[in-house]
Amino acid sequence: MNHLKRREFITLAAGAGAAVLTGCAAEKTGQALQDHSPAEPVKKRFPIVLSSNENPFGPCPEALEAGTKAVRDSSQLYSREQSDQFSRILTDYYRLGSGEMLLGCGAIELLKIAVDVFCSSRSSPIISEPVYEAMDYYAGLRRISPIRIPASAKDKGHDFQSMLDAAYLHGGLIYVCNPCNPTGSLKNKKELTDFVDQIPPEMIIVVDEAYAEYVGPGFFSCMDLVRSGASNLIVVRTFSKIYGLAGLRVGYCAGNQELIRAMAGHRLWNNINQAGLAAAQASLGNQAWVDKMQRENEATRTYFCSGLDEIGIDYIPAAGSFVLISTGRSWEETHSYLLIKGGIVAGRKIPSLPGHIRISLGSREDMDHVLSVLQDFQSLGDPKNSG
């Protein structure tokens, strides 16, 4: 395995760290973009941030060009017209009806709005544990306690039967993350259709498909169910992940007209920026890039997982752009070892899965480095005997 040599890395890290400390971060970012050939991952990052599942390749060339042009030509303009236009483009793209699409400042705005509109102290969100933390966080701001359903022991995915039982008991909103962040588990067409069919019509189901495009051609999107008329379903998507536009903040959701109308009034006015709209629209036209990103991600995941096998670290087979690993040591120990010894920022603590840590898939070079640091970590010995 072609692991980055540790000494080389430490020199690189020390230099880059000093640059950050002396306030050259903006300059470095500019440099990284200048050096960025869209066929390769963006280089020269320090620390190596593998905590937010960002696409190491960044956006496709057309998106870079369109976004840059929009900054130049449209920065002075509010984005309402462009936003309405892009909403119509997405509506056509998914063959939806008018009024069934809503754009958000990232998927996160739409998840927050779903909580604001559809949850109350008497109708809590029902969430799997662990799952992406937005519903939990935004419900918490309104002093609403989510109903947490432990992930199934088998694949750490959503336990649909227990979620259904909770839905019948408590009502409210059900949040499904597919593929699931952080476990990477995936539900298939039958599981999803049966589940949606059984949810009482007065309940809302939010299916978050932030990582959908990473699954590849076999993915079943709940967009199909919206299209065929499911009246209580909202599907949330984003340009932040495979499209590499996390910094430009464009997300969207689809659902029946009534649900979308209820949510639309809660958006910030002019919630999407011109550069984001232009870049997202250009990205949508380059399906070949998405396919390439999907294959790259899959190849890197296979490569990383075989490296984990080699050094004897357990992981959950995943469908997204990240892998949840289990080092046998506490999250705190693993997280700080990766950071201090390797300059690697790994994912957040997952209280319901102690000993696990999520690593986003970066470039091959990043993953070689992670494997090399993890191997050193493993060589510290059996955690049970580590005192």
21 burial via Cβ count (<10 Å: 0-12, 13-18, 19+)? exposed
**Rounded to whole angstroms, how far apart are CA atoms 247 and 181?**
19
Nearer to ligand PLP, 14 or 141 (CB): 141
240 binds ligand PLP (CB under 6 A): yes
Stretch that binds ligand PLP, among 4-12, 66-74, 238-246, 300-308 (CB under 6 A): 238-246
Closest CB 312 distance from ligand PLP, rounded Å: 28
Preceding peptide of 47 cis, ω within 30°: yes
Among 53, 128, 283, 327, binds ligand PLP (CB under 6 A): 53
Show the tokens assigned to 307: 């490296």
From residue 81 to residue 120, the character string flagging contacts with ligand PLP as x (rule: CB under 6 A) and all else as - is -------------------------xxx------------
CB of 248 to ligand PLP, least distance (A): 9
Which residues have a Cβ under 8 Å from the Cβ of 198 and sit 6 or more positions away?
164
Residues 184-213 that bind ligand PLP (CB under 6 A): 208, 210
Q: Which is nearer to ligand PLP, 16 or 134 (CB)?
A: 134
Examine residue 251 and tell whether it contacts ligand PLP (CB under 6 A).
Answer: yes
Number of residues that bind ligand PLP (CB under 6 A): 14
Pick the binder of ligand PLP from 178, 183, 238, 271 (CB under 6 A). 238
Least Å from the CB of residue 366 to ligand PLP = 18
Phi-psi region at 208: left, alpha or beta (left = phi > 0; alpha = psi -120 to 50): beta
- Least separation in angstroms between residue 385's CB and ligand PLP is 36
Cis peptide bond upstream of 182, omega within 30: yes
CB of 181 to ligand PLP, least distance (A): 4
Q: Decide: is 360 part of the binding site for ligand PLP (CB under 6 A).
A: no
What are phi and psi for residue 254, nearest 5 degrees? Answer: -125, 145
Neighbours of 341 (CB within 10 A): 16
Q: Is the dihedral of CA 118, 124, 128, 134 positive or negative?
A: positive
| Burial of 310 per CB tally in 10 Å (0-12, 13-18, 19+) | exposed
* Residue 246 sits in the site that holds ligand PLP (CB under 6 A): yes
Would you tell me which residues interact with ligand PLP (CB under 6 A)? 52-53, 106-108, 132, 177, 181, 208, 210, 238, 240, 246, 251
